[in-house]
Chains A and B, each alone.
Chain A
Amino acid sequence: DAKTTQPPSMDCAEGRAANLPCNHSTISGNEYVYWYRQIHSQGPQYIIHGLKNNETNEMASLIITEDRKSSTLILPHATLRDTAVYYCIVPDPNRDDKIIFGKGTRLHILP
């Protein structure tokens, strides 16, 4: 997988936007950026993915820089239930069908 770098932890106040950064400077042209999260005691949950255009769904927005070397996952109005570990993943479509979960960012939503 193209290597991704995320901060180990972040805090965000409840009701504010949570902006989670991810660096993927070695990403190549056909590689997507995927985001998952894992709430305590649950299985990982798919959030969103994108190639080069910004994407939005009911859970979050994904902003990818023009050079595609970094991206930001945005939770527009964070709630306590958004406390989780967030994983940024760039799988290699030319290698195999699997994804590799790194250490992610532990997001704490503060009341």
Chain B
Amino acid sequence: DAGVIQSPRHEVTEMGQEVTLRCKPISGHDYLFWYRQTMMRGLELLIYFNNNVPIDDSGMPEDRFSAKMPNASFSTLKIQPSEPRDSAVYFCAIGTGSSYEQYFGPGTRLTVT
């Protein structure tokens, strides 16, 4: 976890509210990934960036989800409006050189009531 900081660690919000999850990776990486994990669906890739450019967002559930990476040290995942089915743990991960050797952050546990 040392290479990736995620905030907040826990988020509880009401349905319909906007939620912003943050990821601050260490510098020197090429790839940044956002995953979501639930008991029902396991660990799912939502979107990934290569050199700050979004490459594949096919895993983003719907238009309510958006992600940005304005620079190499910061990325956000936004859900607007949030729904109870968005409740999950959201992980940010980085890769350097190889996109298959990834290092994950501690995750953000999101609960939407």
Considering only residues 48-96 of chain B, those with a C-beta below 8 Å from chain A are 48, 50, 55-56, 91, 93
- Min Cβ gap B11→A in Å is 16
Interface residues of A (CB under 8 A from B): 32, 34, 38, 42-46, 49, 89, 91, 96-103
| Complex Cα–Cα for A98 and B93 (A) | 11
- Let me know if B7 is at the binding interface, CB within 8 A: no
Q: Could you say which interface size class chain B belongs to? A: 20 to 34
Question: Is B56 within 8 A of A96, CB to CB?
Answer: yes
- What 1/0 flags go to B8-50 for Cβ under 8 Å of A? 0000000000000000000000010100000000110100101
Contacts of A45 in B (CB 8 A): 104
Question: Is A49 within 8 A of B43, CB to CB?
Answer: no
Question: Is A44 within 8 A of B104, CB to CB?
Answer: yes
Question: Is B99 within 8 A of A98, CB to CB?
Answer: yes
Contacts of A44 in B (CB 8 A): 43, 91, 93, 102, 104
| Complex Cα–Cα for A98 and B107 (A) | 19
Contacts of B93 in A (CB 8 A): 43-44
Residue in chain B with minimal CB distance to A102? B42
Contact of B102 among A46, A100, A103 (CB under 8 A): A46
Interface residues of B (CB under 8 A from A): 1, 4, 31, 33, 42-43, 45, 48, 50, 55-56, 91, 93, 99-107
Question: Is A49 within 8 A of B42, CB to CB?
Answer: no
Question: Is A43 within 8 A of B1, CB to CB?
Answer: yes
Question: Is A46 within 8 A of B103, CB to CB?
Answer: yes
Contacts of B48 in A (CB 8 A): 97-98
Question: Is B56 within 8 A of A98, CB to CB?
Answer: yes
Question: Is A32 within 8 A of B100, CB to CB?
Answer: yes
- Min Cβ gap A101→B in Å is 4
Question: Is B100 within 8 A of A91, CB to CB?
Answer: yes
Contact of A103 among B42, B45, B55 (CB under 8 A): B42
Residue in chain B with minimal CB distance to A34? B100
- Min Cβ gap B36→A in Å is 11
Contact of B99 among A38, A89, A97, A100 (CB under 8 A): A97
Contacts A42-B1, A44-B91 given: A100-B101 contact, CB under 8 Å? no
